[in-house]
Chains A and B, each alone.
Chain A
Amino acid sequence: MSDSRYFTTTKKGEMFELKADLNSERKDKRKDAVKKVIASMTVGKDVSALFPDVINCMQTDNLELKKLVYLYLMNYAKSQPDMAIMAVNTFVKDCDDTNPLIRALAVRTMGCIRVDKITEYLCEPLRKCLKDEDPYVRKTAAVCVAKLYDINATMVEDQGFLDALKDLLSDSNPMVVANAVAGLSEIAESSPRAGMLDFMSPPTVNKLLTALNECTEWGQIFILDSLSNYVPSDGKEAQSISERVTPRLQHANSAVVLSAVKVLMRLMDMLNEDKEYLSVLLKKLAPPLVTLLSSEPEIQYVALRNINLIVQKRPEVLKHEMKVFFVKYNDPIYVKLEKLDIMIRLAAQSNIAQVLAELKEYAQEVDVDFVRKSVRAIGRCAIKVEQSAERCVGTLIDLIRTKVNYVVQEAVVVIKDIFRKYPNKYESIIANLCENLDTLDEPEARASMIWIIGEYAERIDNAEELLESFLEGFHDESTLVQLQLLTAIVKLFLKKPTETQDLVQSVLSLATQDSDNPDLRDRGYIYWRLLSTDPAAAKDVVLAEKPLISEETDLLEPTLLDELICHIASLASVYHKPPSAFIEGAKGALVIRKSLAAKDDTTNATRAEPVSQTPQPQIIPAQDALVTDLLGLDITAPQTYQPPVAAAPAPQMLDPFGGLDSLLGGPNLAPAATAAPPAMPGLATDALGGLGDIFSASAPAKSYRGPTVVLLDPTRAKGLELKGSFQRRNNQIFLDLTATNRAMQAMSGFAIQFNKNSFGLAPSQPLNMTLVNPNQSAEASLPLHASGPIQKMEPLNSVQVALKNNIDVFYFATTVPLYVFFTEDGAMERKVFLDTWKDIPAANERQFQLDNIGSVPGMSADVANDKLNANNVFTIAKRNVDGKDMIYLSLKLTNAIWVLAEMRSQPGDPTYSLAFKTRAPEVSALVYQAFDEILRH
C-alpha cells in the first residue's frame, strides 16, 4: 500500500469528502483522511477549514495517528487559536501518560504551539516533565524551555524555568545535559538580559567536559559550541580544557571536529606560558583539518572557508600541507575556488614551483571563473614570492599567447600589479600586451592597460596613437577607464609635451566640459590648472613615485578575523561576515560581538608601559554616554560647505586660479593635491588666495610643530588609521590629519564632529577629505575655532571626537596640547603685568621644575626665551638677580584666561624653575607641559 496516492487527488468536493472521512466511525478511514490532509498541507493547500474535525481525531491510542494530528496542530494552531484550546486537555492528559514516549511527545508538541492561552497551560506539565524520572522526557522538556522562551521570555523567567534548566546541567544523563546547554546558550545569546544568564562557571565547565565523552555527536557539538564562549581564568585552566577537548579532533563528525578546533583556537591565545604545549597543539590541528577535505563536497566547502580563516590567523598550522589543496578535476566549482584561495595563502618560496605548475594547469580549464581566478593567482604569487616573479611573468606571457579572451584580460590586470610591485624590471613584455589591445573589453582590463601605457609612455613608441584610439569612445567607457585615460594622457603629455598637446587638450575638455561625473571633472580641473600654471609642479605631482603595493591584498581585517575565529564552523565563518551582517535586524543589534581573549597579563603589562609614556589616544571609557552626546550633534550637516556649482567654461577659469600657484609651491602639499577641496569658480580667488597664505607665507620657522599621534588604530576602526596633530598657524588652530586606509574597500564620506570640551574647540569647516582608496593615505588640514560649546573635561585639554565615513562612525579621545590655544595678543603691558601679579593671590601660584632642560643642546635662557616667544608666549621683562636669569612672561588662552609666568635659570644649572600665576590655576600644569614640550624641541 503506497502513501503517494494521498498526493494525487485534486477533484472537486474533496474537502467535503475529507470532512466526512475524518468523522467516520472507522479508525482506518480516519487515519487515511488525516494522511490526506497532511499531504495537502505539504503541497501548500489550505486545509485549515478542517481544524475541528482533525482535532477530533486526537484522542486516540494510535501513536502514528496522534503524531499526524499534532503535526497538523502545529501548523494551524496559530490561525485558529480559539479552537486550539480544545486540544489542551488531551495534552495535559498525555503529559501524565505512563508511556514516556507519549509524555515526551505531548510536551514537545505543546511547546511548538504558539498560542498564548495554550502556553499558560503548558507551565505545570513542563515543570513536572523537567523532573521526570525518564531521561527521554527530561531531554525533551529541556528543549521545551528554549521554545517557551522564544514565545514568552518573561514568563520563563518568572516561572523559574531558567534555574530548572541550569539544574539540568548536572543531570546524570549526557543527552539531557547537552540539550540543556544548547537551550541555555541560545537563550544567553538572544536575550538582551544576557548578562544575567552567565551560566558558565568552572564547575559547570567541568561537568560539560565530562558529559562530552559520553553524549551523542550532536550533543558534543552543543557542548563544544558553548564551551567556546567560556573564557578561562588563566593559562593553566585553558590548558586543561584544551587537553580534554583535543581528543574530539578524531571524531568522525566534521562538525564536532570544527567545533573542537574553534574551542582550541580561542584558547590558544591564552596558552603562551607553555610554548612547547602550544606547538604540539598546533601540530595536532593540521591532520584533522586535512581529513575534512575527504568528506562530502558541502562539508569540504565549510571546512575550506574555515581553513581560510585559520591559515590567516595561524599560518604555521598548514604550511606543509599545500598538496592537499590541489584542485581535483571533478571537484565542484565552489570547492575549486576555495582551494585556490588557500593555495595562494600557503604559497611560499619552498613550494612555489609546484604551485605555479598547478596554476598553469588550472588556467587551461573550462570554467571561466575558475580560470580567471587561477590567472589572478599567478599574479599574486609573483607579488608574494619575489623569487618566483620572473617565472610567473613568463607563465602569464604564455597564457596571453593562447589569446583566450578572458585569460588575456585577467593577465593584463595582474601584470599591472606586478609592474607596481617590481618597477623597471619586466617592462620588456609591454609589446606582448599591446598586441592584444583590441580584445580587451572589460573595464578593469582596459583601465589596467591604459595605466601601463601611461606609466611607460616613454618606452612605447606609439603610445600616443594607442591612447588616442581609446579616446574615441571616451563617453561610452566606464568611469574607471575614463579616469585612468585622463591620467594616462596627462602623464604622456608630461613625458612627450611636444607631440601630444592636442591630445591632452581634448581629453581635458572631454573630462571637464562634457562629463557629468564630478570625480572625473574634478580630476580634469586639477590637471588643467596644474599644467597651465606650473608644469614642473605638475610633473612632481603626476609622475611622483608611487608606493609599492603590499604582498597580501585580500587579508581580512584583523579585528574581523579575530571575531570570525570565534565563530568557526558557523555561518559567519562561511560568509566571512560578522553575524550582525546577515542576521535579522532586531536581533542583530543585540548580537554580542565576540573577540579573542586578551593575551595573558604579563604581556599586557609590558605592552602597557610604552603606551603610558607617549600621548596615545584613549578609547573613551564611558562610550555609551558619549555616543548619545555625539549623536545629538548633527554630524552630517556641514554648515559652511558649498554645493558644487556647475562648471563654467573652462578657459576663463584658468585665471582666477592663479592663487593655486603659491598653494602648490608650498611645501609637503603636493601629495594632497587630489584630495584638495573641489574648488568652485565663484569663490575661487578669495578662498584660494587665502589658502596660499596659509601654506607658504608667514608662519615663523621656529614655531613648534607638535608631534603627530595615532588617533585611530586600524585594528579598532575597521581598517582606518588616523594620525594627527594639533597646530597653530596664522592665528588659527588646525588639526592636521593623515588618514590611511588599511581596509580592502575605499573609504569616503568623511565627516568630523567634536564633543563639547573645555576650550570650546570645534571645526570651522567640514573635513575636506573625500576618498581614500585601499592602502592609500590622504591628508587634510582641518581649521578649528575655539568658540564652540563648552563643557569642562577631565583632563582639561581632552577632546572627544567622532569621525564618520561610509563604513562606520568612530570615536576617539585625545588631548590637545595647550600651546595651540596661546593667542597672538597675549602680550601684557608691563604695568598691568605687575599689578596682576600682585593681585592674584599666592594660593594660585604653582611652581614647576624643568629638569635637565639646560642640557638640551644649544639651550640657554635666551634660546628658551626665543622659543617661547615664537609660540605666543611673550616676554614682559628680563632681570638678572644674584647670577640668576629671571624672565617674566605672559600668555593668553583663547578663552581669555591670562597666565603669568616667571622663569628662573642659572648658568651651569641644567634645571630651570617656573612659577605660574593665573586666576584659573587648574591650567597651570598644562601650561607647564606645553612649555616643557616647546623647549625640548
Chain B
Amino acid sequence: MIGGLFLYNHKGEVLISRIYRDDIGRNACDAFRVNVIHARQQVRSPVTNIARTSFFHTKRGNIWLCAVTKQNVNAAMVFEFLLKMVDVMQSYFGKINEENIKNNFVLIYELLDEVLDFGYPQKTDTGILKTFITQQGIKTQSKEETTQITSQVTGQIGWRREGIKYRRNELFLDVLESVNLLMSPQGQVLSAHVAGRVIMKSYLSGMPECKFGMNDKLVIDKSARSADDGSRRTAGHNTSGKPSIAIDDCTFHQCVKLSKFESERSISFIPADGEFELMRYRTTKDISLPFRVIPLVRDIGRSKMEVKVVVKSNFKPTLLAQKIEIRIPTPLNTSGVQVLCMKGKAKYKSSDNAIVWKMKRMAGMKESQISAEIELLPTSDKKKWSRPPISMNFEVPFAPSGLKVRYLKVFEHKLNYNDHDVIKWVRYIGRSGLYETRC
C-alpha cells in the first residue's frame, strides 16, 4: 500500500510530508527530489523506481504530488487516489499552489490522516469529509451528530446524508460533450469520438430514488422489440422514429446501482446532494461533426509559405456556435505573417508559433476562410518542422453524439412530494476536445 505522500514546490522543497509505513525512510523524499524533480533529463514516466522504492507522481501547476511505496501496490489505485486528493484539496481551498498549501497545511495533514490509514485509501468524498473535517475544528458535538457522521463515513450511501430539506425541489442536468477529431489533410476522418459527461445538480429533499433514461440504442431497441416484435425497425431508429445512439462504453458515479445496469441497463440511483458527475460515456458512431476544416498549404520557394484555411459549419442554421478559435501552426523560423480573414479576428502569435483566428459566433451551414502569407528566415537547420495539426476550439448548443435525455424520474416515498413537483432543467453543450486537422 501507499507508504508515504509528499508535496513539493517547483524547487523541490517539501511542503507536506506524511509517512504511513515504516519501510519508507525520511530520505525517500530526497531521493525523489534528486532523481526526478532535479533530474537533468526530463523524466519520462509517471512511475519511477529508485533503489527498490517506487514513486508515483503527478503535477498540478508548480506543485508535485508524489506517493511512495515499497510494495507491489495497485498502481491504478495510487494514481486514482492522487487525483482524488487533488479534487479534495481543490474543493477545500481552491487552486493548488504553494501559497494555498502552506496556508492550509494543518488542514491537509488532517485530511491525510483521514483519507489514508496505513496507506489504505479510506473515504474521499468531499461532501462527507466536510461534515467532520472543518477548518474550525469540531468543538462540541452531540452524540447523535457524531454517530450520524460515522455512519455516513462508513455507510452504504456514503455520498448523501439524511435529513436534507429544500423548499423547492429542483434539479439540473448538463450534458457536456467533447468532440474529438483527427482528420487527414484530404478530409478523411482518421479517428473521431465523443467523450460525454452528464453532470447533475440536485437540490432534492430526503433520500429520493431517481431513474435516468436516455436514447440508448440498446434500451430503445429492447423496448421497441417488446412493443411490436421489431417488425418495422430500421437501423438507428425505433418505431416512434426518434433516433437512438450506440454507446460504446459508459461509467457511473458510485451512487448508480451497477448490477442493475448490467442486468436491465437501467440507470437508477440515490443522488449525491449538490453537483456531481452522474455518468461518463463514449460514442464513436454517427457523430455529427460541427465543423470541417480544410487546409491548403503551399511552399513558395524556401522563404515563403502560403496558407489558406476554410472552415465550414455543419449543423442546423438556427443554432449558433460560440467561442470559435482556430490555431494554425507556423514554422519556427517564421519572420513575418500577413493575414486576411473574412470574419472575426486573426493574429500571428510568435510566442505560440501559430496564427490564432477567433470568431465570436457562427451560425450553422456557413463557411468562412482565412488566408495567410508566411515569410520564412533562411535556416541552416536540417531538422524538419514537424507540422503540427491545425486545432480548433468551439462550443455548440447541442450534443454531437446525438444523445437525448428521455426522462429523469424522482421518487421519494417518505416525504410527500412526487415526480411532478420537481423542477427539472436540461442543457446540452458540445465542446471541442482535440479537434485537429493535419496539414
Assess the A302–B75 pair: CB atoms within 8 A.
yes
Collect the chain B residues with CB atoms within 8 Å of residue A175's CB: 122-123, 153-155, 158
A257, chain B: closest CB distance, angstroms: 8
B389 in the interface, Cβ–Cβ < 8 Å? yes
Interface flags for B179-217 (1: CB within 8 Å of A; 0: not) read 000101000001101010000000000000000000000
Q: A38-B109, A247-B259, A252-B253 are in contact. Are A179 and B49 (CB under 8 A)?
A: no
Q: A575 is contacted by which of B49, B250, B262 (Cβ under 8 Å)?
A: B49
Asked if A251 contacts B252 (CB within 8 A), the reply is: yes
Contacting B71 at CB < 8 Å: which of A111, A144, A583?
A583
A108, A176, A567, A583 pick with most chain B CB within 10 angstroms:
A583
**Which applies to chain B's interface (DSSP): helix, strand, loop or mixed?**
mixed
Using Cβ atoms and an 8 Å threshold, which residues of chain A touch B438? 361
Known: A136-B154, A296-B58. A569 touches B75 (CB 8 A): yes
Find chain A residues with CB under 8 A from B118 CB: 111-112, 143-144, 146-147
- Which of chain B's residues 403-417 have a Cβ closer than 8 Å to chain A? none
Q: Mark B396-439, 1 if CB is under 8 A from A, else 0.
A: 00000000000000000000000000000000000000101010
Is B91 part of the contact surface with A, judged by Cβ < 8 Å? no
**Which residues of chain B from 1 to 42 have a CB within 8 Å of any chain A CB?**
1, 13-17, 19-23, 26
* Whole-angstrom CA separation of A323 from B188 in the bound complex: 14
Q: Binary interface profile of B, 134-169, with partner A (CB < 8 Å = 1, else 0)?
A: 000111010100110111011110100000000000
Task: Enumerate chain B residues within 8 angstroms of A573, measured Cβ to Cβ.
Answer: 75
The answer to whether A217 and B254 touch across the interface, beta carbons within 8 angstroms, is: yes
Q: Do residues B386 and A366 form an inter-chain contact, with CB atoms below 8 A?
A: yes
In the complex, whether B45 has a CB less than 8 A from a CB of chain A is yes
* Interchain CB contact under 8 A, B254 and A143: no
| Structural contact, B103 and A584, CB atoms closer than 8 A | no
A4 adjacent to B132 (CB under 8 Å): no
When the two chains form their complex, are residues A3 and B103 in contact, meaning their CB atoms are under 8 A apart? yes
The answer to the question of A654 belonging to the interface, with a C-beta cut-off of 8 Å to chain B, is no
Residue of B nearest to A173 (CB): B154
Given A64-B137, A136-B154, A290-B282, are A579 and B72 neighbors across the interface (CB < 8 Å)? yes
Contact B109 A583 (CB under 8 A): no
- Asked if B386 and A364 sit within 8 Å, CB to CB, the answer is yes
Task: Establish whether residues A254 and B80, one from each chain, have CB atoms under 8 Å apart when the complex forms.
Answer: yes
B102's nearest neighbour on chain A, judged by CB, is A4
Tell me whether A213 and B249 are in contact (CB under 8 A): no
Task: Mark interface residues in A115-157 (1 if CB within 8 Å of B CB, else 0).
Answer: 0000000000000000000111101100110110011000000
- Does B56 sit within 8 A of A, measured CB to CB? yes
Evaluate contact between A252 and B252: CB separation under 8 angstroms.
yes
Chain A residues within an 8 Å CB radius of B70: 583-584
Judge whether A894 is part of the interface by a CB distance below 8 angstroms: no
We find that the number of chain B residues with CB closer than 8 angstroms to chain A is 100
Contact yes or no, B75 A329, CB < 8 A = no
A342 to chain B, nearest CB (A): 15
Identify which of residues 769-822 in chain A touch chain B, using a CB-to-CB cut-off of 8 Å. none
Nearest chain A CB to B200's CB is how many angstroms away?
14
For residue A114, CB closer than 8 A to chain B, the reply is: yes
User: Which chain B positions have C-beta within 8 A of A68?
Assistant: 106, 109
On chain A, the residues within 8 Å of B147 by CB distance are 100, 134
Report the Cα distance A324→B191, complex, angstroms: 8
Residue B104 lies at the interface, judged by CB distance under 8 Å to chain A: yes
Instruction: From A218-226, A493-501, A553-561, A909-917, give the one contacting chain B.
Output: A218-226
A253 cross-chain contacts in B, Cβ below 8 A: 80, 254
A258 at the interface (CB under 8 A from B): yes
Closest partner residue, chain B, to A105 (CB atom)? B113
Residue in A100, A357, A361 whose CB lies within 8 Å of B150:
A100
Is B124 close to A, CB under 8 A? yes
Instruction: Provide the A554-589 mask, 1 if CB < 8 A to any CB of B, else 0.
Output: 000000000000010111111100010011110000
Contact of B251 among A213, A251, A333 (CB under 8 A): A251
| A247:B150 contact, CB within 8 angstroms | no
Q: A287-B248, A290-B282 are in contact. Are A326 and B190 (CB under 8 A)?
A: yes
B113 CB contact (under 8 Å) in A71, A100, A246, A247: A71
CB–CB B52/A364 < 8 A: no
Asked if residues A294 and B109 are in contact (CB atoms below 8 Å), the reply is no
A303-B76 CB under 8 A given contacts A99-B146, A135-B151: yes
Question: Shortest beta-carbon distance, B312 to chain A, in Å?
Answer: 22
A757 contacts chain B at the CB level, 8 A cutoff: no
Say yes or no for B296: interface residue by CB 8 A criterion. no
Q: Write out, one digit per residue, whether chain A residues 355-380 have a CB within 8 A of any chain B CB (1) or not (0).
A: 00110010011100100000000000
- Check if A330 is an interface residue, CB within 8 A of chain B: yes
**B244 at the A interface (CB under 8 A):** no
Q: Is the CB of B74 within 8 A of A3?
A: no
B47 touches A301 (CB 8 A): yes
Interface residue? B83 (CB, 8 A): yes
Say yes or no: is A44 at the interface (Cβ < 8 Å to chain B): yes
Query: A254-B80, A329-B436, A569-B74 are contacts. A135–B154 as well, Cβ < 8 Å?
Result: yes
Q: Measured between alpha carbons, how far is A457 from B384 in the docked complex, in Å?
A: 34
A301 contacts B46, CB within 8 Å?
A: yes
Q: A71-B109, A570-B75 are in contact. Are A139 and B154 (CB under 8 A)?
A: yes
Q: Give, as a whole number of angstroms, the nearest-CB distance from B178 to chain A.
A: 9
Determine if A248 is an interface residue (Cβ-Cβ < 8 Å).
Answer: yes
Q: Is A186 an interface position by the 8 A CB rule?
A: yes
Could you tell me the distance between the alpha carbons of A291 and B282 in the complex, rounded to whole angstroms?
7
Question: B387 near A: Cβ within 8 Å?
Answer: yes
Q: Which residues of A contact B26 (CB under 8 A)?
A: 44
* Complex: A574 Cα to B250 Cα, angstroms: 25
Contact with A along B351-382 (1 / 0, CB 8 A): 00000000000000000000000000000001
CB-contact partner of A259 in B74, B251, B391, under 8 A: B74
Q: Is A29 an interface residue (CB 8 A)?
A: no
A213 touches B74 (CB 8 A): no
Bound together, the chains give a CA A415 to CA B58 distance in angstroms of 39
A296 touching B389 by the CB < 8 A rule? no
Chain A residues near B81 (CB-CB < 8 A): 218
Q: A101 at the A/B interface (Cβ < 8 Å)?
A: yes
Nearest-neighbour CB distance to chain A for B21, whole angstroms, equals 8
Question: Hey, which chain B residues are within 8 Å of A288, CB to CB?
Answer: 249, 251
B208-240: contact bitstring with A at CB < 8 Å (1 yes, 0 no)? 000000000000000000000000000000000
The 19 listed contacts between A and B (C-beta, < 8 Å) are A3-B104, A64-B110, A99-B146, A100-B147, A101-B149, A150-B21, A174-B156, A246-B262, A250-B251, A250-B261, A251-B251, A251-B258, A252-B251, A290-B249, A299-B80, A333-B44, A404-B383, A571-B69, A584-B52
* Chain B residues engaging chain A, CB cutoff 8 angstroms: 1, 13-17, 19-23, 26, 44-47, 49, 52, 54, 56, 58, 69-77, 79-83, 99, 102-106, 109-110, 113, 117-118, 120-124, 132, 137-139, 141, 143, 146-147, 149-151, 153-156, 158, 182, 184, 190-191, 193, 195, 248-254, 257-259, 261-262, 277, 279-280, 282, 382-384, 386-389, 391, 434, 436, 438
| 5 tightest Cβ-Cβ pairs between the two chains A and B | A287-B249, A136-B150, A4-B102, A64-B137, A255-B76
